[in-house]
Structure 1
Amino acid sequence: MSLRVCGNLGTLFPERGALIERVGAAKKAGFHLVEVPMPYHETSEALATELQLQQLEAVLINTDPGNFEAGEMGCACQPGKEAQFKASLEKSLMYAKAMNVSMMNVNVGKRQQEHTEEEHNATLEDNLRYAVTLFKRHDIVGLIEPKNIYTFPEYFLNDFEQAVALLFKIDSPHLRLLLDVFHLQLICGNVTRNIERLIPYTAHVQVSQPPLRSEPGSAGELDYAYVLAKLKSAGYKGYIGAEYVPSTAKTEDSLVWIKKCGLIF
């Protein structure tokens, strides 16, 4: 069975401007599934209405990162900001409910120089345990996503071993791994063996071409026909999130890789 692709409305269709305009563009381009990582500049009601009008299913949102334009990327790892994390999580869950999404990617935040690695780790684990109780109540799968230090130099969760250790400690079906192959390549490479190792913990996959985060099939470090076949042979049955920055002026012109790699909308 072919894997299904979902369009990331945070990176695709930048030529359309506002998020609400990208919803219709995604439908027109052929998508049936979308990721809406940053829905918070629109009302949840407006997004839910537009998704329903376009007959699109949103499968994932990210937790509210705070002031992303100022560099904030969440606060789940930051000691002393537990109340802020809980408030942002409640806001995110309100969006998730309105948009009927089944997965939520937790923005864990950046390191704070005044706190130790151990303090960050303990805070993150405690906050994720709290989040899991709410994910279970709302029938949502929470996700954690390691990000590479070149693109996001201060992001706390920057290692797959670190992420898997958290999953083992918390041990809940409502907290899983988001495996972004772009980050996997830049963090540790050895993509074949790492896919085989990490797929048992993975609930969602995202793809883009290193080093420029362009579309799979563009010039870069990875052969995505091979990578996507490897994901299937390793037993992955979830969605493939197209989270990339198109190298083409029109996003539609960057979508040829989907059919070439054997994916379907």
Structure 2
Amino acid sequence: MSSRGPTVTMKFASNLSFMFGESPKITERYQLAKQAGFKAVETGFPLGFTAQEVADARSKAGVKQVLINIFTGDVTKGEMGFAAIPGKEDEFKKSVALTIEYAKALDCKKIHVMSGKVESPNEINDSTYESNMRFAIEKFQAEDIVALIEPINSITMPNYYMNSFEKGLEIVKKINSPHLRLMLDLFHLQHARGNITRTIKEYLPYLGHVQVAQVPDRHEPDTAGELNYRYVFSLLEKEGYKDYIGLEYRPKAGSAEGLKWIKNFGYTL
């Protein structure tokens, strides 16, 4: 039996870059998410589709877009954003402008700004990153969009610049803008440092978004793994997190079939 009060609820958003791969087109996954019961979605940057095509797909499905990743560059070349890469400032500025175009078309108010990969980060990368983030925040503020920093663990993504939750929080505190928040992906947090309970409590005032997946296989929260998500969700509720939780996991079987955990955990879409 759930001990939660009757007015408390969790808001879940399907990550269409990970879920509903039953369709190869991200534009078709909006409808699949809607059919499965989702009211909200998030995505990586929808490479290969125009802003209008993606906006039409979202509108037709009648779901809310809560988050989009910034244009990353050429992923086939390993590009994962430009924010921390000296000499790529022009590419970064273009990626900000392009992603704002998509975000506005989708009526999306949060953009995950990716840092890019750096083999041996130094002070130049640090200053480049901070300067680029300040530029992005200024542009986002004019559109009432919040920039998100997501630390990504170096085990599953080697050489990613923003691989430290401590560093991510430090930047958020230093820039100190209501248009910059930290994204807490529990999958990356467990790989990077663990200490889930204390981190949630300490970081909550600075959070703009939460994502979940089981560790280490990145499947549904109820699959076998290192994290007790019944406890994690109850902790987020207890600490007062009321924003969306992005389901950035790879369904172990079918996307819709795998959603049984939501009801089993006592939640609804």
Q: TM-score, normalised by structure 1?
A: 0.96
Matched AA of 1:131: A
1:67-122 CA distance string (max 9 Å, x none): 11321100100011111100111000000011110100001101155xx5111110
| Alignment coverage as a number of residue pairs | 262
What aligned pairs does 1:66-105 form with structure 2 within 5 A after superposition? 66-105=73-112
**Paired residue type of 2:73:** G
Alignment of structure 1 residues 1-265 onto 2, 5 Å = 1-113=8-120, 116-248=121-253, 250-265=254-269
Partner SS for 1:255: helix
Contact 1:35–1:59, Cα closer than 8 Å, also in 2: yes
- In structure 2, how many angstroms separate the alpha carbons of the residues matched to 1:68 and 1:188? 27
What amino acid sits opposite 2:186 in the alignment? Answer: V
Runs of 4+ aligned residues of structure 1 deviating over 3 Å after TM superposition are: none
Mapped to 2, the partners of 1:154 and 1:235 lie a distance apart of 34
Segments of 5+ residues of structure 1 without an aligned counterpart are: none
- The residue matched to 1:95 in structure 2 has which SS? helix
Residues 205 and 239 in structure 1, CA contact (< 8 A), matched pair in contact too: yes
Q: Which amino acid aligns with 2:10?
A: L
Asked if the contact 1:5/1:263 (under 8 Å) is kept, the reply is no
Kindly provide the amino acid, as one letter, of the partner of residue 169 in structure 1. Answer: K
d(CA) in 2 for partners of 1:2, 1:262? 9
Equivalent position amino acid for 1:254 in 2: G
Q: Displacement of 1:260 after TM fit? A: 2.4
2:84 counterpart letter in structure 1: C
TM-score, reference length from structure 2: 0.95
- The one-letter code sitting in structure 1 at the alignment partner of 2:178 is P
RMSD: 1.0
- Deviations 1:27-60, CA, capped at 9 Å, x for gaps: 1111110002121321110111111111111111
Cα separation, 2, equivalents of 1:27 and 1:191: 31
- Conserved? CA contact 2:150–2:168, under 8 Å: yes
Distance 1:27 1:69 in 2: 30
State the alpha-carbon separation in 2 of the partners of residues 147 and 260 from structure 1: 29
* Deviation of 1:253 (Å): 1.0
